[in-house]
Amino acid sequence: MQPNPETLASRDARVVWHPYTQMLTRPAPLPIVRGEGVYLYTDDGRRFLDGFSSWWVTIHGHAHPRLNAALAAQAQQLEHVVFAGCTHAPAVELAERLVAALPPGLSRVFYSDNGSTAVEVAMKLACQYWRNRGEPRRRRFVTLHHAYHGDTVGAMSASEDSLFTQPFAPMLFDVSRAVAPYCYRCPLGRERPTCGIACLGEAAPAEHGTLGALLAQQGGLIAGVMVEPMLQGAGGMIVWPAEFLAGVRRLCDQHGVLMIADEVLTGFGRTGRMFACEHAAVTPDIICLSKGITGGYLPLGATVVTEPVFAAFLSEDRSKTFFHGHSFTANPLACAVAVESLRMFADSQVMEKVADLEGWLMRGLAPLRALPLVGDVRVIGGVGIVELVSDRATKSAGGYLDDVGPRLTQLFQQRGLLLRPLGNVLYVMPPYVITEAETAWMIEQVHDVLSTFG
Ligand code: PLP
């Protein structure tokens, strides 16, 4: 047989369309053939440290022997079965383990197959919950500025207006947007820790654009408030004071609206707690999970609700049924790997690893504050964030269109480090199995590139 003279990259260039990529000007994608631990390997033998967990999904490392074995064992038994009218052990065991691990009160698991669908399910459930309870006027959502909830139509509607959503504006529905606790760029011009979390608008609901103000004005029309607790991801890696999260729960209770926590990014340890809601000891009415749920192996979504939310759908009346389901709902392979991943949390000191990583990131990234282009450094759990500015006094910086992100991506790639900055917001979010020496190496690359960047 003649060897194929073509590379993977050149074959890719002819037939594949990549996400979030301008296909005319893109650099060639990395032809990855193998993963192990925190590393990815190309077909020509290069090695890259996966500094952002392959879009925030990988937690125990690539090609982990225990997850591989769980997947292989399940594949021998049952690869897939319809989940309307059938059930299977991996789905039931996963639901039991999720309910045990989640903040108390979340008790019913609805499966889907990715983060965006977990969010769509949450929004549809919230909307129908009020209809089923005879309050159909409550169908509007409040979300936050800088939010990112996914790429399907409901999730895009809930997300901040941005370059990503503009082409689809005619398809999107209206939501109310409240200000977010972006302390480095406080929307009210206050300073921590003396601000009293004024951006919540709890004490002064007249404060323009705050959650308190919006709920005071529109409370009777609101189905739910949806937030990314503690860490707003794609909208700029914004780390919250936990007091804001506690206040969201209080305001939702005061106004009798559902609180939806989108923990697609933050779930499964990423912020240093198993779920970010634990930072403020709150239980949302609905929580959205995906990404790390399978340790980053396979697509799976879960939307988990409290018993009162579930109860609103229990009826002889068929119109109260939740008519939503995807072909791959509760795929057994994905569920089996997710169960094994949760077992690893129980027996492999996973949260201790995240705590160590948080310490290494805090100590390692702090000196970067001295660099002229660094405006802010923030760390939460296994996520380290460096916000770049062109002028520290005015905090001015380019947005996603600015080419700083792609330029940095290329510079890190040349050094064997995979990162994908969000415009001027550079962050590291490695798999939890990264060692102290590997973390130090990663931070050294960040330091060296930023020291000479201009
Ligand atoms: N919600 C949040 C908070 C996310 O960060 C993401 C993805 O980054 C999503 C939802 C969408 O998840 P998916 O990409 O699996 O559709």
Pocket of ligand 1 (CB under 6 A): 114-116, 119, 148-150, 228, 233-234, 262, 264-265, 290
The pLDDT tens digits for 350-375 are 999 999 999 999 999 999 999 999 99
Residue closest to 111 by CA, chosen among 133, 75, 87, 76: 87
Taking the C-alpha atoms of residue 240 and residue 211, their distance in angstroms, rounded to an integer, is 15
DSSP for 362-398, please give it. HHHHGGGGGSTTEEEEEEETTEEEEEE-SBTTTTB--
The reply to whether 41 belongs to the active site is no
Quick one: pLDDT at residue 316? 96
Q: What is the CA radius of gyration of the chain?
A: 22
Mean pLDDT computed over every residue of the chain: 95
* 8-63+350-452 CATH fold: Aspartate Aminotransferase, domain 1 (3.90.1150)
Which residues, 6+ apart, have CB-to-CB distance to 118 below 8 Å? Answer: 112, 262, 264, 288, 289, 290, 301, 302, 303
User: Which residue out of 111, 148, 182, 400 is catalytically annotated?
Assistant: 148
Number of C-alpha atoms within 13 angstroms, CB side, residue 402?
Answer: 16
Asked if 49 contacts 419 with a C-beta cutoff of 8 angstroms, the reply is no
Q: State the pLDDT confidence band at 349, using cuts at 50, 70 and 90.
A: very high
Instruction: Tell me which of 289 and 24 has the higher pLDDT.
Output: 289
Using the structure block, give the residue that is written with the tokens 């459930």: 125
- Ligand 1 centroid–CA 287 distance in Å is 13
Q: Name the residue of 57, 58, 119 to mutate for ligand 1: max ligand atoms within 8 A of Cβ.
A: 119
Helices (H), 102-185: 115-132, 153-158
- To the query of whether residue 262 is one of the catalytic residues in this protein, the response is yes
Q: Atom 15, ligand 1: which residue's CA is nearest?
A: 115
Task: Report how far ligand 1's centroid is from the alpha carbon of 35 (Å).
Answer: 23
CB neighbourhood size of 229 (10 A): 29
Task: Please tell me the predicted confidence (pLDDT) of residue 23.
Answer: 87
Average pLDDT over residues 95-103: 98
Q: Which residue has the higher pLDDT, 207 or 376?
A: 376
Residue nearest to atom 9 of ligand 1 (CA): 150
Q: Does the bond joining 193 to the residue before it have cis omega, within 30 degrees of 0?
A: yes
Average pLDDT score over residue span 257-263: 99
Atom 1 of ligand 1, nearest CA residue: 149
The one catalytic residue among 113, 182, 291, 400: 291
Q: Specify the amino acid at residue 118.
A: A
- Fold that domain 69-347 belongs to in CATH: Aspartate Aminotransferase; domain 2 (3.40.640)
**CA 184/CA 195 separation, integer angstroms:** 12
- Look up the pTM and report it: 0.97
- What's the 52 CA to ligand 1 centre distance in angstroms? 14
pLDDT at 4: 62
The protein residue with its alpha carbon nearest to ligand 1, atom 7, reads 150
Residue 20 known to be catalytic: yes
Domain with CATH 3.90.1150.10 in the chain: 8-63+350-452
Counting Cβ atoms within 10 Å, is residue 237 exposed (0-12), middle (13-18) or buried (19+)?
buried
Does residue 391 have an active-site annotation?
A: no
Q: Which of 58, 112, 113, 148 to mutate to test the pocket of ligand 1 (most atoms within 8 A of CB)?
A: 148
Strands of 47-50's sheet in order across = 32-36, 39-42, 47-50, 417-418
pLDDT value at residue 206? 64
- Which residue has the CA at smallest separation from atom 5 of ligand 1? 265
> 305: Cβ–Cβ under 8 A, 6 or more apart, which residues?
106, 107, 108, 110, 125, 285, 286, 287
pLDDT value for 219: 87
Q: Is 215 a residue whose pLDDT tops 90? A: yes
194 has pLDDT over 90: yes
454 vs 448: CA distance, rounded Å: 12
Q: How far is the CA of 265 from the centre of ligand 1 (A)?
A: 7
The side-by-side arrangement of strands in the sheet containing 383-388 is 374-380, 383-388, 425-428
Given 111, 262, 297, 353, the catalytic residue: 262
- Specify which residues 398 forms β-bridges with: none
What does 245-288 look like in DSSP terms, one character per residue? HHHHHHHHHHHT-EEEEE-TTTTTTTTSSSSGGGGGT---SEEE
Ligand 1: centre distance to CA 149 (Å): 6
Q: Quick one: 4 exposed, middle or buried, by C-beta within 10 A (0-12, 13-18, 19+)?
A: exposed
Paired sense of beta strands 374-380 and 383-388, if any: antiparallel
The answer to whether residue 400 scores a pLDDT higher than 60 is no
Q: For atom 12 of ligand 1, which residue has the closest CA?
A: 115
Determine the atom of ligand 1 nearest the C-alpha atom of 117: 16
Q: Would you state the structure tokens that stand for residue 441, as one six-digit string?
A: 């190496």
Substitution site in 263, 265, 303, 425 for ligand 1 pocket (most atoms within 8 Å of beta carbon) = 265
Q: Which atom of ligand 1 lies at the shortest distance from residue 155's CA?
A: 10
Helix (H) or strand (E) segment spanning residue 141? strand 140-144
Does residue 117 register a pLDDT over 70? yes
pLDDT class of 205 with cuts at 50, 70, 90: low
What's the gap in Å between 77 CA and the centre of ligand 1? 30
Q: Tell me the CA–centroid distance for residue 20 and ligand 1, in Å.
A: 13
* Rounded distance from Cα 216 to ligand 1 centre (Å): 29
Instruction: Characterize the bridge pairing of strands 417-418 and 140-144.
Output: unpaired
**Boundaries of CATH 3.40.640.10 in the chain?**
69-347
Task: For a ligand 1 pocket test, name from 227, 291, 326 the mutation site with the most ligand atoms within 8 angstroms of its C-beta.
Answer: 291
pLDDT score, position 402: 67
Centroid of ligand 1 to alpha carbon of 2 (angstroms): 43
Could you tell me the pLDDT band of residue 403, with boundaries at 50, 70 and 90?
A: confident
